[in-house]
Amino acid sequence: MTDAPATARTQASVNLVVMAGDGIGPEITAATIEVLRAVDSRLAQGLTFIDAPIGLAALRSAGSTLPDSAFAAALAADGVILGPVSHNDYPPLAEGGLNPSGEMRRRLDLFANIRPARSRPGLSPRCGKAVDLVIVRENTEGFYADRSMVLGPGEIMPTRDLALSLRKITRAGSTRIAEAAFRLAARRRKKVTAVHKANVLRVTDGLFLECVREVAARHPEVAYEERIIDAMAALLVRDASVFDVIVTTNMFGDILSDEASEIAGSLGLAASLNAGSEHAVAQAQHGSAPDIAGRNLANPSSLISSAGMLLAWLGERRGDARLVEAADLIERALDCVIAEPRWRTADLGGPLGTEAFGRRIAAAVGELASA
């Protein structure tokens, strides 16, 4: 009996839902899909893409910035590529304005927001030394008013002159994010830094630290240290190269990840994956940049790299080395292209537009795969 053709025998199947989002979202998601198609044609992962409109476009056509049908598609997919959203411009909830990013994180229980800050060859890190760290940010509780309550918002205004915000920290939430951080560190430089403000938030960050310490005790192979958030902000500027994995609560992670990625090179290059135990959503770290939307100016690197992280996450779950290899190929292509000033986009002082940059990365994927 003859073997079936290699592609037929080994073709994987990965169904991705693409939510283009607002502002520069449609342009950077188009570039990302072009790169993913190039990877697919080399590594036969069987990627399929389903568009699920969200954001202002969906508000006009379906009356909601996250229509039920879009969420249902995300729930059924193997993974989601989520473009940036202009949720500050959305109407109130009663008029269909939902923050898709927060809704997806909460409803799909994407508790870990994995945010690498890595310097790329040829682009000087702002702290003088090459940075390679990952922020593991809790994503489903903390100081996020849309996530802290079962019913009603986590922010209230008892009188016109008094506003209150609730910060929710749970044992289960803190333990699972700590476990994600230590598992990751065990495969990297084996160091975890927990960032907190337990000197002031004694009860909530006290509980967070208690949980992280318990997990640390189960991972003696990983060095563990703690830093207070304000000092940490300064230490990153001083020398971010000394950190490996940083674990922290939602809002601190939001702020520190923008800081760390900018210090590593540029916030515009920073990838992020929202991961749970069943679902994962690739999402750029940056926003929707409405000022340059539709002008073919945006740098799609962040979303392209995030999509790579999604493939790696799927590959690890399925034990499919090709998906992990695909992620590696995407990172190497980004490194090679960004290293060349003539192939950079305008934000990095280069001449390429979004489309040309996406095509260049797709071409680099092909070149590296056949090298």
Annotated catalytic residue within 22, 40, 244, 254 = 254
* Separation of CA 351 from chain center: 27
Q: Which is nearer to ligand IPM, 241 or 306 (CB)?
A: 306
Q: Is 174 in the site for ligand IPM (CB under 6 A)?
A: no
Annotated catalytic residue within 109, 146, 190, 197 = 197
Whether 254 is a known active-site residue: answer yes
Interaction partner, residue 101 (Mg ion, ligand IPM, none; CB < 5-8 Å by kind): ligand IPM
The owner of tokens 């609560």 is 249
Binding region for ligand IPM (CB under 6 A) out of 58-66, 72-80, 94-102, 154-162: 94-102
Q: Is 262 in the site for Mg ion (CB under 5 A)?
A: no
Q: What's the Cα-to-Cα distance from 44 to each of 33, 326, 369, rounded to whole Å?
A: 15, 10, 12
Beta-bridge mates of residue 246: 135, 193
For residue 108, give the nearest of 69, 148, 80 by alpha carbon. 80
Kindly report the length of the chain.
Answer: 371
Q: Is 138 in the site for Mg ion (CB under 5 A)?
A: no
Strand ranges, E, within the chain: 14-19, 47-51, 79-82, 112-118, 132-138, 155-159, 162-165, 191-196, 223-228, 245-248, 273-275, 280-283
Site for Mg ion in 79-98 (CB under 5 A): none
Q: How many residues bind ligand IPM (CB under 6 A)?
A: 4
Q: Is 22 in the site for ligand IPM (CB under 6 A)?
A: no
Q: Is 254 in the site for ligand IPM (CB under 6 A)?
A: yes
Whether 161 is a known active-site residue: answer no
The owner of tokens 């916030």 is 267
Q: Is 254 in the site for Mg ion (CB under 5 A)?
A: yes
Annotated catalytic residue within 144, 168, 244, 320 = 144
| Whether 56 contacts 329, CB under 8 Å | no
Binding region for ligand IPM (CB under 6 A) out of 32-40, 65-73, 99-107, 241-249: 99-107
CA–CA gap between residue 306 and residue 50 (Å, rounded): 18
Per CB under 6 A, residues contacting ligand IPM are 99, 101-102, 254
Q: Cite the active site residues.
A: 144, 197, 230, 254, 258
